[in-house]
């Protein structure tokens, strides 16, 4: 009645601008034309509000977990131990109509797909625990409770829970595979256990590089993906590579840094070279002194002791000079 009055008032105000008799007639027609659809729109609006309130009161809660985690879905309804013989509990998956488990007269039955990984809680707040979550477990689960009343079972409670199972890729690992050719090194980037299908790219200074081999595979049972990619680069330059993996709206990345190769001489080579230099440097002056002594002795007469004494002094002088020059 309130809605009808409000519509009539609005219609009269709208038609107030027509002073003539013809306008008055038009006013009555206009009120009749507007009143009926306006009232139907009002009723529709009221129904939508009631439906919204109903959806809000029995709203779908959401549980988000990762693959291989454990999820607990609750029914939000209190059942005492005395009521078990008069209550039936059903958990089923929406859309697919997959029955998860049922509880009748206090006895729980788990369907094959969820067997050995689903644990029910019957009394207090009925719930189910799903172990070792899989991607296929994602969806909306309905908890339906029926009670025995007047000789038949009537539904007294229902609750929907949305389960979202995520499969995030771990940070990729980069390893060295060796040298396929001179001055060329090969590295590989890999990660597994994620969903949806990933895309891998190699980047250096913001520029995408060409990988030599990239493979993507999917496990048919778990539906999880594995991705592997290889990259060759020149070892004579410095590099900073980024292995970037995109899946859905998410990304993971790993960085690989390389310092260019600079040959170094091992310490024992330096020591060997030093000793070789010293030996050669010492042998040469000794040979020279021996040669000079031999030449001088041949020139001296056998009975000239003064000649021999002079040659020995000259040889000593040469040895002293060579030893001083080697120090510098």
Residues 119 and 98 in one domain: yes
Decide if 34 is inside a domain: yes
Max CA pair span of the chain: 171
Phi, psi dihedrals of residue 13, rounded to the nearest 5°: -65, -35
Structural domains of the chain, count: 4
For residues 226 and 312, which has the higher predicted lDDT (pLDDT)? 226
Residues 134 and 202 in one domain: no
> pLDDT tens digits for 177-194?
999 999 999 999 999 999
Is residue 250 within 8 A of residue 167, CB to CB? The reply is no
Decide if 264 is inside a domain: no
Name the region of 131 (left: φ>0; alpha: ψ -120 to 50; beta: rest).
beta
Is residue 55 within 8 A of residue 35, CB to CB? The reply is no
Decide if 96 is inside a domain: yes
Phi, psi dihedrals of residue 106, rounded to the nearest 5°: 85, -5
For residues 84 and 43, which has the higher predicted lDDT (pLDDT)? 84
Indicate whether 260 pLDDT > 70: yes
pTM for this model (two decimals): 0.57
> pLDDT tens digits for 194-223?
999 999 999 999 999 999 999 999 999 999
What is the SS3 assignment for 164?
Answer: strand
> pLDDT tens digits for 125-147?
899 999 999 999 999 999 999 99
Is residue 142 within 8 A of residue 92, CB to CB? The reply is yes
Decide if 225 is inside a domain: yes
The residue segments making up the domain with residue 130 are 61-166
Going edge to edge, which strands form the sheet with 61-66? 61-66, 152-166, 139-149, 87-93, 98-104, 107-110
Residues 100 and 88 in one domain: yes
Decide if 263 is inside a domain: no
The pair of three-digit structure tokens given for residue 114, joined into one six-digit string = 């969820």
> pLDDT tens digits for 264-313?
655 555 555 555 565 556 566 666 666 666 666 666 655 566 666 676 77
Output the pLDDT for position 214.
Answer: 96
């Amino acid at each position: 009645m309130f809605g009808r009055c409000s519509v009539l008032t609005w219609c009269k105000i709208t038609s107030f601008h027509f002073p003539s008799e013809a306008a008055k007639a038009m006013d009555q027609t206009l009120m009749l034309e507007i009143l009926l659809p306006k009232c139907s729109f009002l009723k529709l609006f009221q129904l939508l509000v009631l439906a919204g309130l109903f959806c809000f009161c029995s709203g779908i809660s959401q549980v988000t977990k990762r693959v291989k985690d454990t999820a607990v879905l609750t029914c939000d309804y209190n059942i005492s131990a005395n009521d078990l013989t008069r209550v039936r509990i059903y958990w089923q998956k929406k859309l697919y109509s997959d029955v998860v488990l049922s509880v009748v007269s206090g006895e729980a039955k788990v369907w094959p797909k969820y067997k050995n990984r689903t644990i029910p809680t019957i009394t207090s707040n009925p719930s189910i625990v799903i172990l070792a979550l899989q991607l296929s477990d994602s969806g909306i689960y309905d908890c339906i409770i029926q009670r025995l009343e007047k000789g038949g079972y009537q539904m007294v409670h229902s609750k929907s829970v949305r389960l979202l199972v995520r499969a995030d890729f771990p940070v990729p690992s980069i390893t060295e595979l060796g040298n396929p050719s001179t001055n060329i090194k090969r590295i590989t980037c890999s990660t597994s256990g994620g969903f949806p299908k990933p895309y891998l790219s190699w980047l250096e200074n913001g520029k995408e590089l060409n990988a030599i081999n990239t493979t993507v595979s999917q496990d048919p049972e778990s539906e999880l993906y594995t991705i592997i990619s290889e990259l060759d680069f020149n070892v004579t330059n410095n590099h900073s590579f980024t292995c970037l993996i995109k899946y859905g709206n998410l990304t993971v990345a790993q960085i690989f840094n390389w310092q260019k190769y600079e040959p170094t001489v091992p310490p024992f080579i330096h020591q060997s070279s030093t000793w070789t230099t010293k030996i050669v440097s010492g042998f040469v002056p000794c040979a020279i002194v021996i040669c000079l002594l031999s030449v001088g002795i041949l020139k001296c007469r056998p009975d000239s002791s003064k000649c021999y004494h002079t040659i020995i002094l000259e040889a000593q002088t040469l040895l002293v000079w060579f030893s001083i020059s080697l120090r510098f």
